[in-house]
Structure 1
Amino acid sequence: MSLSTIRINPGDTSSLDHFPKLVVGGPENEFVQPAPLRVRLLCELIGTCLFIFFGAGCAAKGHDLLTVSLAHALVTVWLVYVFGPVSGGHFNAGATIAFAVNGKMKIVEIIGYLVSQAIGALIGGALLLALYGSDNTLGTPALSPGVTVWRGFLIEFICTTILSFVIFFTTSYNTQKEAAIPIGLVVFSSFLLGADRDGSALNPWRWLGPAVFSHTYKSEAWIYTVGPIGGFLLGYVLFRIYKAIWNWNADNQFHRM
């Protein structure tokens, strides 16, 4: 048995093949097979890099709340729209871990996605260093004066819980392209709420890439990893509860009484 066939959740009997497939082999394009893993990993690497480059890049220019929020929302929309049909458009360790718990990713995919995203985040941070120089924080999220660690954590945790629920909700009914706008709007709302409070990462890589190349390490930085990952997992749990409520009558032997 190879890693490429091992489920993260052996008890899930649903299909492993959950990634969207482009229409291939037709006269309108020259793609002769569904996207292989190497292509999906490349999309995750590029997508994460660009999310860091444009999102953190705009944050590095100043603290205009509307500009920073809009920048992250817009880059989310077009990245999900472009790469979503190929790789699923995660670009976020929290999203990948939540999909892994969902039981529809193979172990090799989980590891590959996380490694590709990390590399993309570091490349994005390096590009920002080249663009802004070493005397800039490169848009690294940080707590504003007067904002406690736990308040910062709650911003990350609550916003990513909502984001996770919306991602699972919208992609269960729609394609990634159709889900791109509502996902982007949640990102926009979340950054409007928290960008001037804790810097709003909503994504461990959004913190890591800029932090590594700006040497911005602080003791409270754990909130930008634990908060988003915990939020994505809770959002997934809430979505499963929602599905259970939806399907309750289908499994209830007394539903016809």
Structure 2
Amino acid sequence: MSAPESPDQRHFFSHLSSRQTSAAPGSPTAAVPAGAAPTRTTTNRLPILKAQSGARNNVTAVVGEFVGTFLFLFFSFAGTQLANTPASTSTEPNHTVLIFIALSFGVSLTANVWVFYRITGGMFNPVVTLALVICGGLPITRALLIMPTQILAGMSAAGVISALLPGPLAVTNSLGGGASTAQGLFIEMFLTAQLVFTILMLAVEKHRSTFLAPVGIGASFFLAELVGCYWTGGALNPARAFGPAVATRTFPNYHWIYWLGPVMGSLLASGFYLLLKAMQYQECNPGQDASGADLERYEDRHAQHHTTTEEPKV
């Protein structure tokens, strides 16, 4: 049971709800009649991707995810192939190469998520799809169609890069820097959790800056690649790891960490997100999506409330 709201908090949330009653038809707030009191169901329900389950929409989602995942990994693999040509025999980290690879993945994800978000949600990753199912953002039926599509797109992108660019394919994931299998597993887990939680908070959880979500997602992925590339190759995505492994017919005995690690990270991020939703995190730091005028009114009333309720000094 949550703690009771103070009068100023109730006024603030009521004011925001009344401003949202003029939202576009079909939005969650558009269904609230003007003057009606807001409810918990209206203000705090989980925003979802509004995915329809019709056959045509499922086909559109599958085609969109295949093309989007292919383009994301195609340009990421192309940048990685360029960075690793010619192949280096040094065991020391080449920071220029690592930054170039991280930028290739981060910028490619940013661009393609921005393009495909309106079509499929721009997931491009089976563990991101898993997180959306867990958090109520995607029907299971569509997820079961999309996940194999993402794996197939990863295989296709790796195959095209292998055939298109000269030299052996140099984009496979492998442990480096003396990292053990256990270390690689948990590196993949924590880096994936960072990426998935960013996606849940910036893209799934609707707010005033949702349209800029691809920038935050790309920055998060760039950071994860920058940290993990030297130690594990920075997969964070079973489709990214499996595609090059198939193209090169190279499966190290620890390949399973590139599946289990990201799945564990997705479960960790999803669990934390659902915990925050259950704790009604919006009330911890209210007004983050309000306009400047709304926030000023709330702060003024909050200050007046504390002034009037302060006990007189004896």
Q: What TM-score do the two structures reach when normalised by structure 1? A: 0.79
Superposed counterparts of 1:103-142, under 5 Å = 103-132=136-165, 136-142=168-174
Q: In structure 1, how many angstroms separate the alpha carbons of the residues matched to 2:46 and 2:99?
A: 42
Gaps of 5+ in 1: 1-13, 22-34, 251-257
Cα pair distance change 1:158/1:130, threshold 3 Å: same
Residue 238 of structure 1 corresponds to which residue in structure 2? 272
Q: 1:18 aligns with which of 49, 52, 76?
A: 49
1:68 paired with 2:98, answer no
Distance 1:137 1:216 in 2: 11
SS at match of 1:158: helix
Q: Tell me, in whole angstroms, the C-alpha distance in 1 between the residues paired with 2:239 and 2:261.
A: 12
Q: Tell me the alpha carbon deviations over residues 67-122 of structure 1, each in whole angstroms, 9 at most, x when there is no partner.
A: 00001000110111000111011100001111112234333201111121122111
2:215 to 181, 189, 194: 181
Residues 152 and 198, structure 1, Cα contact 8 Å, conserved in 2: yes
Deviation at 1:232, TM superposition (A): 1.1
For the 8 Å contact 2:162–2:169, the answer to whether it is kept is no
Deviation, 1:156, is 0.7
Greater mean deviation of Cα atoms: 117-126 or 205-214: 117-126
Which of residues 196, 201, 207 is equivalent to 1:169? 201
1:57, CA displacement in angstroms?
Answer: 2.4
Q: 1:202 pairs with 236, 243, 251, which one?
A: 236
The one-letter code of the counterpart of 1:178 is L
What is the aligned partner in structure 2 of residue 48 from structure 1? 69
Structure 2 partner of 1:82? 115
Matched, 1:153 2:174: no
Aligned positions, number: 223
How far has the Cα of 1:16 moved from its partner? 10
AA aligned to 1:101 is I
Task: Tell me if structure 1 keeps the 8 A contact 2:98–2:229.
Answer: yes
Gaps of 5+ in 2: 1-44, 85-93, 285-314
SS of equivalent residue, structure 2 residue 231: coil
Aligned-partner SS, 2:117: helix
**Contact 1:152–1:197 (CA<8 Å) still a contact in 2?**
yes
Task: Give CA-to-partner distance per residue, 1:159-209, whole Å, 9 cap, x none.
Answer: 111111111111203476421000100101111101111100010000011
Identical columns (%): 27
Q: 2:51 touches 2:138 (CA, 8 Å); kept in 1?
A: no
Going from structure 1 to structure 2, the CA distance change for 1:143 and 1:249 (only over 3 Å counts) comes to closer
Q: TM-score w.r.t. structure 2 length?
A: 0.66
* Alpha carbons of structure 1 residues 48 and 18: separation in structure 2 relative to 1, 3 Å: same
**Residues 148/69 of structure 1: CA separation in 2 closer, same or farther (3 Å cut):** same
Q: 2:187, 2:228 within 8 Å by CA — same for their partners in 1?
A: yes
How big is the shift at 1:36?
A: 2.0
1:129/1:168 CA distance change after superposition, 3 Å: same
State the Cα distance separating 1:49 from its structure 2 match: 1.1
